[in-house]
C-alpha cells in the first residue's frame, strides 16, 4: 500500500482513509485491535472457498479474533442491514437512472446486485461486527507483547 504523508498529517492511503481509522480496519479487512495485521485468511472476498474465514489471531499483535464460540453469528444482523441498504440503494438507483423499467426488471437488478456484492458484504459484516466488540489498542499495548518484552528484558 502506498502511504501519503506530509510529516504532520496522519498517514493515509490513496483513498484517503487514515491508516489507523475504524474505516481502515473495516474496509481494508485489518485487525480491529491494532489495525495493522490481516483479519481474514484471504483478503479477497471473491475467492469463494475462503470467504469470511477469519484468522485465529492477529499476525501482528496476537489478539484473538474470536473471543467466544459463535461470536460471528451476531454478524448476521450486520449482514442483513448491509443487504437491505445495498438493495435499497440499487432500487433507488434504478428509479433515477432507468425510470421506464418494469418493477420486475428493477427487482431483478436488485437481486443480481445483491448476489454480486454478497461476498464483499459478508466479509464487511464480520469486520464491522469485530470492530463493535474489539477495542482499538494499537500495536504495542497487548498483553502478549508486554509479556514477551518482559521475558526478553529478564533474559538479558
Footprint on this chain of Zn ion (rule: CB under 5 A) = 31, 33-34, 37, 58, 60-61, 63
Nearer to Zn ion, 36 or 101 (CB): 36
Containing 17, the helix (H) or strand (E) segment is: none
Q: How far is the CB of 19 from Zn ion (least distance, A)?
A: 13
Nearest Cα neighbor of 124 from 56, 22, 13 is 22
Q: How far is the CB of 46 from Zn ion (least distance, A)?
A: 24
Nearest Cα neighbor of 121 from 32, 26, 17 is 26
Nearer to Zn ion, 17 or 60 (CB): 60
Q: How far is the CB of 49 from Zn ion (least distance, A)?
A: 25
Start-end of H helices in the chain? 22-27, 75-97, 103-133, 143-155
Nearer to Zn ion, 18 or 60 (CB): 60
Quickly tell me which residue has 504532520 as its cell: 8
Q: How far is the CB of 58 from Zn ion (least distance, A)?
A: 3
CA–CA distance, 22 with 128 (Å, rounded to integer): 9
Amino acid at each position: 500500500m502506498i502511504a501519503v504523508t506530509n510529516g504532520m498529517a496522519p498517514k493515509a492511503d490513496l483513498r484517503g482513509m487514515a491508516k489507523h481509522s475504524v474505516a481502515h480496519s473495516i474496509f481494508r479487512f485489518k485487525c480491529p485491535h491494532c489495525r495493522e495485521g490481516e483479519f481474514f485468511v484471504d483478503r479477497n472476498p471473491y475467492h469463494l472457498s475462503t470467504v469470511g474465514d477469519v484468522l485465529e489471531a492477529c499476525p501482528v499483535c496476537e489478539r484473538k479474533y474470536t473471543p467466544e464460540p459463535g461470536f460471528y453469528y451476531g454478524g448476521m444482523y450486520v449482514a442483513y442491514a448491509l443487504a437491505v441498504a445495498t438493495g435499497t440503494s440499487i432500487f433507488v438507483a434504478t428509479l433515477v437512472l432507468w425510470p421506464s423499467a418494469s418493477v420486475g426488471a428493477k427487482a431483478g437488478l436488485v437481486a443480481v446486485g445483491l448476489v454480486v456484492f454478497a461476498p464483499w458484504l459478508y466479509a464487511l459484516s464480520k469486520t464491522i461486527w469485530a470492530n463493535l466488540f474489539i477495542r482499538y489498542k494499537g500495536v504495542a499495548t497487548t498483553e502478549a507483547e508486554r509479556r514477551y518484552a518482559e521475558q526478553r528484558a529478564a533474559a538479558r
